[in-house]
């Protein structure tokens, strides 16, 4: 009764990792099922592209499976898979640096303004739904406009809720560097959003 839900989850995860290392494919599959949505979301937020996010998801778990015997278990499996996924996502961005494509879902006009797509009028309160979708696209566009280093720190800290220490460990940065990047990311977002809303 004294075990916290988090401790139980960590123990359960540790057992799954041990079983997966011993050749139990079902145990590894359970780890995939447990974290695939979070890893996909991570890939999507860093790359801004559904196809790349899918690649990040697959590559991260394939690499984790291939290197499972080397996983020392001095950190959680989730922390380890996030580190692999972040590296994969940043590699995607580096490869894409030459061709600056904008995903169709977030198309922009010549002035860099987010072009909001029309939505079918099947939901209640269509004006509210439209405004919410527009705001969501503006926020996503502002986050994606951040440099990759800032965007990754912002995503891990403010979206995924990892601690500063965990973020620093994942990205091989000092705690001070994480704090500085997060501060600058938030500042840039605030400036960018205030400009957008002033124009509106």
Output the domain CATH number for residue 42. 1.10.1740.10
pTM of the shown model: 0.58
Does the residue 42 lie in any domain? yes
Does the residue 156 lie in any domain? no
Eight-state DSSP code of residue 153: H
Percent of the chain with pLDDT over 90: 14
What pLDDT score does 195 carry? 73
Residue 196 or 36, more confident: 36
d(CA 135, CA 141): 10
d(CA 131, CA 16): 44
Does the residue 29 lie in any domain? yes
Does the residue 175 lie in any domain? no
pLDDT of 109 above 60: no
In this predicted model, what pLDDT tens digit does every residue of 176-190 receive, in sequence order? 899 988 888 888 888
Does the residue 24 lie in any domain? yes
Does the residue 106 lie in any domain? no
Output the six-digit token pair for 125. Answer: 């309160």
Does the residue 89 lie in any domain? yes
Residue 1 or 174, more confident: 174
d(CA 172, CA 110): 38
Q: Mean pLDDT throughout 162-168?
A: 87
What is the count of structural domains for the chain?
A: 1
Does the residue 128 lie in any domain? no
Q: Range with the lowest mean pLDDT among 33-47, 53-67, 94-108?
A: 94-108
| Enclosing domain of residue 6 | 1-101
Cα distances (angstroms) measured from residue 29 to each of 18, 58, 66, 71, 161: 13, 13, 14, 17, 25
Q: Mean pLDDT throughout 136-153?
A: 84
Answer for the pair 85, 61: CB distance below 8 angstroms, yes or no. no
pLDDT of 47 above 50: yes
pLDDT of 78 above 60: yes
């Amino acid at each position: 009764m004294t075990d916290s839900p988090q401790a139980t989850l960590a123990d359960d995860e540790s057992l799954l990792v041990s079983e997966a290392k011993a050749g139990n494919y079902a145990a590894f599959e359970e780890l995939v099922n447990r974290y695939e949505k979070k890893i996909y979301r991570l890939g999507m937020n860093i790359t801004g592209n559904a196809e790349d996010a899918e690649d990040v998801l697959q590559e991260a778990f394939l690499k984790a499976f291939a290197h499972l015997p080397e996983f020392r278990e001095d950190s959680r499996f989730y922390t380890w898979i996030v580190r692999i996924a972040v590296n994969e996502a940043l590699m995607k961005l580096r490869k894409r640096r030459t061709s600056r494509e904008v995903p169709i879902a977030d198309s922009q006009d010549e002035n860099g303004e987010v072009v909001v797509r029309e939505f079918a009028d099947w939901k209640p309160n269509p004006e509210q739904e439209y405004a919410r979708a527009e705001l969501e696209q503006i926020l996503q566009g502002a986050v994606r406009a951040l440099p990759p280093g800032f965007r990754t720190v912002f995503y891990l800290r403010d979206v995924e809720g990892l601690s500063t220490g965990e973020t620093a460990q994942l990205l091989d940065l000092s705690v001070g560097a994480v704090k500085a990047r997060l501060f600058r990311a938030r500042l840039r977002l605030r400036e960018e959003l205030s400009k957008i809303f002033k124009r509106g």
